[in-house]
């Protein structure tokens, strides 16, 4: 009865917000993971309905929409069986395997379970058991991550590594600086991950965290990181030169076009959103990280974010926790990071790529995003916050058009 009451309350909130959002003309977002120095990059769309029934029709882009939009239908049907995509998240989601099963069954994807060897959940030490404490605020994030891998690469194995916390600590007696999330990346690679997605980042402006870059320095493994949901300005670890920094787009069906879809910067297609409520894909110029050799944009002497991008809004996920309680629609660059990790998996090329460099030499296999900005006037930051032909900060080199760019 308590859970039903929560469902009813959420439905009432969503209905009320949807009405007001309709008047204002834009979506309303409720971020997850709002506490701590490191946060996930996802939000619930409160202006769209929550659907509690697992088999019911619901809003948001589904698995087949995403495959079609990025020209991945053929690759998703045949490739990825040799790849293990790891998701690094904080805390335990005790219902993740059943939620994943619901998502995959609804979209007609093959089962991915512990029993058939496709799904594996471990703690940050690599143990199947002794999981960290549950944290409902991270449950939708974990569902989102695993379900985006399922959508893009249904034949991939999924490895979920649950960090003890989203905190970073300094042991003054040594002194040793430690990141539970970073240690979980090392664990994922040690357990055989071929791609690792990190849908989290520093809250607020990017701090100097170059001393933690070593956690993400794994040649031969494709490491992706969300560019952030706080508009113009870089976050970490997306700013690390050892990751593929993934920006966010707004993806809309456009049947009259040759592609059938249109994309703009996520944040540019949110009419009616007040400036203090704005969210959009992170981008910009790092103050701390050096510029990788493969980046040649002239307006930033350091590391520029992002490298590539993918959809970051209006995506359906299933999460049975009290944060959603069924089918919900989410936004944030937490969507885009596991999508790009999964495209790397479909390409099967991670052993030969040098960090995030590969898309820079294969832009003909990407959709160039040329419209929109992340809520910052272009007069302030130019291409670092506004889409334009070729490379730009919010969308990097563009979005996948098949697997050739990865």
Q: Are 212 and 177 in contact (CB under 8 A)?
A: yes
Q: When comparing pLDDT for 313 and 16, which is higher? A: 313
Question: Which pLDDT score is estimated for 169?
Answer: 54
Split at pLDDT 50, 70, 90, the class of 207 is confident
**pLDDT at residue 43 greater than cutoff 50:** yes
Ramachandran class of 19: left when φ > 0, alpha when ψ lies in -120 to 50, beta otherwise: alpha
**For residue 290, pLDDT beyond 80:** yes
Query: Is the CATH number 3.30.930.10 carried by domain 2-400?
Result: no
Which region among 8-17, 134-143, 262-271 has the lowest average model confidence (pLDDT)?
A: 8-17
Inform me whether the pLDDT recorded for 17 exceeds 80.
no
d(CA 106, CA 203): 34
pLDDT of the residue at 176: 54
Residues 395, 371: Cα–Cα separation, whole Å: 10
Give me the residue spans of the domains in the chain: 2-400
- Average pLDDT, stretch 287-300? 96
Rounded-to-integer distance, Cα 174 and Cα 172, Å: 6
> For the chain, what's the residue count?
406
pLDDT in tens, 314-341: 999 999 998 899 999 999 999 999 999 9
Answer yes or no: is pLDDT of 170 > 50: no
- What tokens does 393 get? 């900060």
Task: Report, as an integer, the average pLDDT of 182-190.
Answer: 97
Does residue 20 have a pLDDT over 60?
no
Of all residues in the chain, the percent with pLDDT exceeding 90 is 80
Average pLDDT, integer, range 371-382:
84
> Rounded CA gap, 133 and 364, in Å?
45
Q: What does DSSP say about strands 308-311 and 244-253: parallel, antiparallel, or unpaired?
A: parallel
The number of angstroms, rounded, from the C-alpha of 310 to the middle of its chain's C-alpha atoms is 9
Q: How much of the chain exceeds pLDDT 70, in percent?
A: 88
Residue 4 in this model has a pLDDT that exceeds 90: no
- The pLDDT mean for the chain works out to 90
Q: What is the mean pLDDT of residues 205-224?
A: 93
Name, of 168-177, 217-226, 274-283, the range with top average pLDDT. 217-226
pTM over 0.85: yes
Q: Which position has the higher pLDDT, 173 or 400?
A: 400
pLDDT over 50 (residue 148): yes
d(Cα 5, Cα 362) in Å, to the nearest integer?
A: 51
């Amino acid at each position: 009865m308590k859970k039903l009451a929560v469902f009813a309350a959420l439905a009432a909130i969503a209905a009320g917000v949807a009405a007001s959002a309709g008047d204002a003309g834009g979506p309303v977002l409720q971020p997850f993971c709002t506490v701590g120095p490191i946060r996930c990059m996802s939000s619930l769309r409160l202006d769209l309905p929550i659907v509690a029934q697992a088999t019911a029709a619901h809003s948001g882009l589904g698995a087949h929409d995403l495959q079609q939009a990025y020209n991945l239908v053929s690759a998703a049907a045949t490739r990825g069986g040799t790849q293990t995509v790891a998701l690094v998240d904080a805390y335990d989601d005790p219902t993740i395997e059943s939620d994943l099963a619901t998502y995959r069954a609804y979209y007609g994807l093959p089962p991915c379970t512990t029993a058939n060897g496709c799904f594996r959940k471990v703690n940050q030490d690599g143990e199947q058991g002794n999981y960290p404490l549950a944290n409902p605020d991270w449950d939708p994030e974990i569902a989102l991550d695993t379900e985006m891998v399922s959508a893009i690469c249904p034949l991939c194995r999924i490895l979920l590594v649950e960090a003890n916390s989203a905190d970073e600590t300094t042991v003054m007696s040594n002194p040793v600086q430690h990141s539970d999330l970073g240690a979980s990346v090392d664990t994922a690679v040690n357990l055989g991950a071929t791609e690792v997605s990190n849908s989290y980042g520093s809250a607020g402006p990017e701090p100097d965290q170059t001393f933690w870059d070593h956690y993400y320095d794994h040649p031969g493994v494709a490491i992706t990181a969300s560019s952030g949901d706080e508009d113009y300005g870089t976050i970490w670890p997306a700013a690390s030169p050892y990751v593929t920094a993934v920006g966010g787009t707004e993806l809309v069906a456009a049947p009259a076009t040759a592609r059938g879809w249109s994309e703009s910067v996520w944040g540019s297609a949110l009419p009616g959103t007040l400036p203090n409520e704005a969210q959009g894909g992170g981008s910009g110029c790092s103050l701390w990280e050096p510029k990788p050799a493969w980046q040649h944009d002239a307006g930033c002497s350091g590391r520029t974010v992002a490298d590539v991008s993918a959809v970051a809004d209006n995506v359906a996920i299933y999460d049975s926790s009290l944060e959603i309680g069924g089918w919900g629609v989410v936004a944030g660059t937490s969507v885009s990071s596991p999508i790009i990790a999964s495209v790397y998996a479909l390409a099967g090329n991670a052993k030969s790529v040098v960090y995030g460099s590969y898309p820079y030499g294969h832009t003909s296999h990407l959709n160039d995003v040329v419209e929109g900005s992340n809520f910052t006037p272009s007069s302030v930051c130019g291409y670092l916050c506004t889409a334009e032909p070729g490379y730009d900060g919010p969308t990097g080199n563009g979005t996948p058009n098949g697997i050739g760019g990865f």
